[in-house]
Amino acid sequence: MSEIVDLDDVTFAYGDTVAVSDVSLTVEEGEFLGLVGPNGSGKTTLLHLMLGLHEPDAGSVELFGRPVEEFDDGGRIGYVSQKATSRGGAMPVTVRECVTMGRFAHTGRGRLSTADLVSELSGGQRQRAYIARALASDADLLALDEPTVGVDAESRDAFYALLDELNDEGITVILIEHDIGVVTDRANRIACVNTKLYHHGDTESFVESDALVEAYGTTGQVVHHHH
């Protein structure tokens, strides 16, 4: 088992507002990590730090065993950003165009006609097009930022079943999801953050812990350690 992501005492602030404080965690190969926390708790920032989209103010980040700033094999990561998910309707892009953006063409798993416009797909189909794009470069790590916002329950289940399948095939998944129920059903590990890391461990220990109440019931300013 190798480490896909390794955060060591990472801190990041937007100006004076600390978004991520002293977070250390590793993601092992083959893990399905659910990243949870209240709105504005720094989940997306933490994911950005993992992927090298932000540079930490303190601490270090390794991606696939290399310092993130030196990492240059972008094809190993498939990333679906929150913004991409929300803007699918505005730009005329076909499924084929969307998928081949991930550099090499490989039609993905969905049964979609590749000539369809992404904006005319149902929410669930649209997610699959994004996943196909993320996987088109044969990624080992799939990083998804709230991919099912605005998607109906049935499509969402189908989408998560697909994620399970991919994870079973050995692809590491990091998922930001606001629905705690969904995450605890799917992920085998959970990181619960609210600026600080409140819990990091397997899903069972998270469910039994009071990390959820701690993270959601207090603000990021209050220092609590319940590890």
Per CB under 8 A, residues contacting another protein are 48, 51-53, 71-75, 77, 79-81, 83-84, 90-94, 96-98, 100-103, 111, 113-115, 117, 120, 133-134, 137, 143
The angle subtended at Cα 27 by Cα 167 and Cα 46, nearest 5°, is 110
* Nearest distance from C-beta of residue 168 to another protein, angstroms: 19
Nearer CB in complex with another protein: 150/217:
150
DSSP string, 98-156: HHHTTSS----SS---TTSBGGGS-HHHHHHHHHHHHHTT--SEEEEESTTTT--HHHH
CA gap 80, 165 in Å, rounded? 18
* Nearest distance from C-beta of residue 162 to another protein, angstroms: 15
Nearer CB in complex with another protein: 48/128:
48
Nearer CB in complex with another protein: 63/192:
63
Nearer CB in complex with another protein: 16/208:
16
Q: Which of 173, 163, 133, 143 is nearest to 51 (CA)?
A: 143
* Nearest distance from C-beta of residue 45 to another protein, angstroms: 12
